Structure 1
Amino acid sequence: MRIFLLLVLMAISPLNWAAAKIETWQTPKGSRVFYIYAQDLPMADIRITFDAGSARDGAQHGLAALTSGLLDTGAGKWSADELAQRFESVGANFGTSVSRDTASLSLRTLTDPPLFDKAVETMKTILTQPVFNQADFDREKNRTLAALKHRESSPSALADLTFNKVVYGDHPYAHSSAGEIETVTTLTADDLKKFYKQYYVSANALVVIVGDLTKKQAAKTAEDLLAELPAGQKPADIPEVSLPANAKLQHIEFPSTQTHVLSGIPGMHRKDEDYFALYVGNHILGGGGLVSRLFEEVREKRGLAYSASSSFAPMFRKGAFSMGLQTRNDQTQQALDVMTQTLADFIETGPTEAELEAAKKNLTGGFVMRFDTNSKLAGYAEMIGFYGLPLDYLDTFPEKVLALTVNDIKDAFKRRVDPKLLQTVTVGEAVKPREK
């Protein structure tokens, strides 16, 4: 009961953001540690992150995701059920995740020593002694293949997959983290073991610890968790993303009443000098929901789609800038024309002063709520650590947003978003011309 009540408090109690001072150091084996002391609750969030996302798949698309997914299916002397029971017995939550850039293990646990020690020991075993046995591999592989097969029946999934391919070409960001049926089919348990040995090493590890632990306790925890990992080497950076040579439109025929439309180009990376201008500008263009330009032009004025939006997805290299909507098949061209014209107008004239002021208030007014719990704060610390952002990123975010001018946004969009290079994908049923 005590554990249950504490977990409830963990979920609802806010963290005093002013205490979010990030301290950082390296372990003796070269791993980076990012630590934030937060004493509001007797709990800690721990994340161990590796440069081992799907951009490291090579030709074996889906390899990073399967490796990450198999870590807690058996480790050391414990089965998946036994590992889950160990976490459950101390009220801890454990998970793994993978993105294009990263692969992470995360733990949320109470800091009472007997509970904390058992949770950390279990996490360490999963990290350092995964089994990758054949039966577990076969089960997870078949599960992945079933999901990939189901993906083929989703027009939105097909649009996403195709869009990334046309935007990124042969870059490692071009394929989905889950892979494709053809590539996952050929993967073996030995492939996962090889990938794990190459990338899950101390030199490639980032440890984030947020919670009610002293710096000394955090340092010991980080060193203990990684003690049995080999030193290894950090991999070379993935290549830069190139802009497309010209615009392209690709249609995929699909039996649906609505057409899914995506259009965009490579946008910005996490440390981009234009990050704040593009971020705030996009909020006005299509990221602000009901008050954005795209929503107003496509939905409110013309009723062409239920919604229309735009986004930047910054990563280690340039993530995509994209605009998207769903519309009736016979309105596809009109909706696409309105979407691209709205972008062109925004690039040419920029936002109005009123739009900019409204965006500033929206983005800064609720900013503290984005990291008002240990878990959210750990996510930001992970981002800051992995992408090499300034340690005062959270403190300076509001002032950088508030300092922007209309000309800053207009200039950044003119330089960085070229409508003549848009890569566009439509997935739906083409409307045949009427017979005369």
Structure 2
Amino acid sequence: MKRWIVMLGLILISGAGGAMEADIQQWHTESGTKVLFVERHELPIVDLRVVFDAGSARDGDHPGLARLTSELLLEGTEAQDAGEIARSFERYGARVSTNSGRDTGEFSLRGLSDPARLEPVIEELAAVMQGASFPADALERVRRQMLLGLQQAKSSAADQAERAFTRAIYGDHPYASPPSGTTASVEVLDRQAIVDFHTRHYTANNAVLTVVGDLTRARAEAIAEQLSQALPAGEALPPLPEVELPDGPQTVRVPFEAGQTHVMVGQPSVRRGDEAYYPLYMGNHMLGGSGLTSILAERMREDRGLSYSSSSRLSTGAQRGRFQMATQVRNEALGEALEVLRGSFAELRDEGPSEERMEASRRNITGSFPLQLDSNRDLLGYVSSIGFHDLPHDYLQQFMERIEAMDRQTVQAALQSQLDPEHMITVLVGPEAVINGVD
């Protein structure tokens, strides 16, 4: 039997100040699917996620293909239509959904752990995973919905800024492919392209299954085998190419008539699992990731009254994620807002954070983080990410420990080594005369 097991302690600090221990157990099914399992008996609930390397980065020359495929996975099999599939889960009190992003496509399931309720739900999920038929009528309906969304996005300055920013920072990399596609690509995607994508990407060797909840190890193994065997064996996909940094600073201007201008400034960041993630997370939290207590919120909103919404964000992926600062400002205040955004980042990067701000951020992060893990579903997302990105099983414990031990010099060094104004992209979406009047 091809199986290997890893059991490492994962310590989650509870909101009450105590400790809750959970073991991540890992093995591979006979069909080659990696499985991560956390046994929790507090509630009679099982949360399950099957993640495939099937995100928009795998779209190739067909933007929107991964999203369209994902949207159709629950729309029918040869034996059942979408309504029958939905009712087969609902009658046992279960919820099932699909989702896709840049890296992944996935099935998620929540059900009661009582075998009389869970077993038929797992059987139904296996049937759907094995027999998705992509009916022609559903394809056309979902296509129309995606095209409508693309049309609506044209009237949204925020959507236009997001698309322009992603194209600019990722260039020719597959991450630049918009998950929702383009009008031209979505209009011509046909059923055969969807079937081919599904056959290539939704396979046992290209999947990670995570189970959290009220099960024994033996039951979790049986479920994993049942779901894995429903999939073709397939092969794991080759890694995505590395993300190259932009050659130099660039300003992208997108004309859009509105009373405000949308601004995004940033660059590719680090990949998931990079050691620099921890100090960058802390730096981003102080800069604009902590809401109204962040540097950008204080300077843009409280000190200058330039914007009610200013923030920064750090994300990671299988390859480099993204760092971005974003705001929406009155057109007449655009020049001043850009000066504050860029200046605040440069000051934090060049001078480092104060000890007072470091300590405030440390308390905020360590105090709020456990609340993000207080349910099976929340924990499922983190453990699923650990499995997909091959992170150490004590990743969450490491995160808390590293934030606790972080010093200002480490944060400053990460900002200086990983985020460089010479690679920053600025996107401006607003009236042409306004956006052309600033650098």
TM class by smaller structure: over 0.9
- Alpha-carbon contact 2:26-2:34 (below 8 Å) kept: yes
Aligned partner of 1:357 in structure 2 is 359
In 2: Cα distance, 1:162 partner to 1:35 partner: 39
Return the offset for 1:431. Answer: 4.0
Q: Report whether the alignment pairs 1:391 with 2:393.
A: yes
Return the offset for 1:393. Answer: 1.2
1:136 to 128, 135, 138: 138
Return the offset for 1:17. Answer: 6.7
Aligned partner of 1:185 in structure 2 is 187
Match of 2:175, SS? coil
Aligned partner of 2:274 in structure 1 is 272
- Alpha-carbon contact 2:255-2:432 (below 8 Å) kept: yes
Quick one: which amino acid aligns to residue 396 of structure 1? Q
In 2: Cα distance, 1:207 partner to 1:421 partner: 37
- Alpha-carbon contact 1:17-1:368 (below 8 Å) kept: no
What runs of 5+ residues in structure 1 fail to find an aligned partner? 1-13
- Alpha-carbon contact 2:59-2:66 (below 8 Å) kept: yes
In 2: Cα distance, 1:260 partner to 1:57 partner: 28
- Alpha-carbon contact 1:161-1:175 (below 8 Å) kept: no
In 1: Cα distance, 2:264 partner to 2:391 partner: 30
**Equivalent residues in 2 for 1:3-14, closer than 5 Å:** none
What runs of 5+ residues in structure 2 fail to find an aligned partner? 1-14
In 2: Cα distance, 1:293 partner to 1:136 partner: 47
**Equivalent residues in 2 for 1:6-405, closer than 5 Å:** 18-405=20-407
TM-score (norm 1): 0.94
Match of 2:174, SS? coil
In 2: Cα distance, 1:305 partner to 1:248 partner: 23
Return the offset for 1:365. Answer: 1.2
Q: Deviations over 1:386-432 (max 9, x none)?
A: 01111011222211101111000011101111112210111111346
In 2: Cα distance, 1:140 partner to 1:293 partner: 42
Quick one: which amino acid aligns to residue 207 of structure 2? A
Cα distance change on mapping 1:408 and 1:126 into 2, 3 Å: same
- Alpha-carbon contact 1:19-1:38 (below 8 Å) kept: no
Match of 1:237, SS? coil
In 1: Cα distance, 2:154 partner to 2:22 partner: 44
In 1: Cα distance, 2:324 partner to 2:419 partner: 10
- Alpha-carbon contact 2:252-2:428 (below 8 Å) kept: yes
Q: Deviations over 1:220-247 (max 9, x none)?
A: 1010012131111000000000011111
Identity percentage of aligned residues: 38
In 1: Cα distance, 2:314 partner to 2:202 partner: 29
In 1: Cα distance, 2:230 partner to 2:430 partner: 52
- Alpha-carbon contact 1:31-1:204 (below 8 Å) kept: yes
- Alpha-carbon contact 1:49-1:206 (below 8 Å) kept: yes
In 2: Cα distance, 1:344 partner to 1:37 partner: 46
Match of 1:86, SS? helix
- Alpha-carbon contact 2:47-2:212 (below 8 Å) kept: yes
- Alpha-carbon contact 2:127-2:230 (below 8 Å) kept: no
Q: Which moved more, 1:150-159 or 1:294-303?
A: 294-303
Match of 1:338, SS? helix
In 2: Cα distance, 1:148 partner to 1:430 partner: 22
- Alpha-carbon contact 1:263-1:423 (below 8 Å) kept: yes
TM-score (norm 2): 0.94
In 2: Cα distance, 1:414 partner to 1:228 partner: 48
Quick one: which amino acid aligns to residue 300 of structure 2? V
Return the offset for 1:213. Answer: 0.7
In 1: Cα distance, 2:138 partner to 2:78 partner: 14
Q: Deviations over 1:272-313 (max 9, x none)?
A: 111110001110111111111111121111111112111111
Quick one: which amino acid aligns to residue 353 of structure 1? E
In 2: Cα distance, 1:368 partner to 1:286 partner: 21
Q: Deviations over 1:154-184 (max 9, x none)?
A: 0000000000000000111112211111111
Match of 1:194, SS? helix
Quick one: which amino acid aligns to residue 244 of structure 1? P
- Alpha-carbon contact 2:59-2:177 (below 8 Å) kept: no
In 2: Cα distance, 1:403 partner to 1:111 partner: 40
- Alpha-carbon contact 2:29-2:228 (below 8 Å) kept: no
Quick one: which amino acid aligns to residue 149 of structure 1? Q
- Alpha-carbon contact 2:307-2:329 (below 8 Å) kept: yes
- Alpha-carbon contact 2:73-2:134 (below 8 Å) kept: yes
In 1: Cα distance, 2:152 partner to 2:360 partner: 42
Quick one: which amino acid aligns to residue 26 of structure 1? H
Q: Which moved more, 1:44-53 or 1:225-234?
A: 225-234
In 2: Cα distance, 1:102 partner to 1:138 partner: 23
Match of 2:269, SS? strand
Return the offset for 1:336. Answer: 0.7
In 1: Cα distance, 2:339 partner to 2:178 partner: 28
In 2: Cα distance, 1:431 partner to 1:191 partner: 43
In 2: Cα distance, 1:366 partner to 1:228 partner: 39
Quick one: which amino acid aligns to residue 320 of structure 2? K
- The runs of 4+ residues in structure 1 deviating greater than 2 Å are 14-17, 430-434
